[in-house]
Amino acid sequence: MREDGLQRFLLSLPHKYGPLFLRAAVPYLEQMLYKAYNKNKLTQHVVDGYKYPLNARDWDRGLYWFI
């Protein structure tokens, strides 16, 4: 799905489901990093840095509304 297609899809969801969809996608974050990142530079520290914002309260709502 293209980036603009993903954005349209997320925004087409009822407001209560958009953040839930984002939360469900979290397990795929690390997989996407390994595909997109230079594997020699992708340390656990880097992965943890990408995941750190997901610890914030209501991050999914904030990201949904940002999109």
Q: What is the pLDDT of residues 12-66, one digit of tens each?
A: 777 778 788 888 888 887 788 888 888 888 899 988 998 898 889 988 888 877 8
pLDDT of residue 45: 92
pLDDT of residue 51: 87
pLDDT at 1 over 60: no
Domain edges within the chain:
3-66
Q: Provide the pLDDT confidence category of residue 2 given band limits of 50, 70 and 90.
A: low
Contacts of 50 (CB under 8 A, 6+ apart): 29, 33
pTM: predicted TM-score of the whole model, two decimal places: 0.58
H helix intervals, the chain: 3-12, 17-25, 29-36, 44-51, 59-66
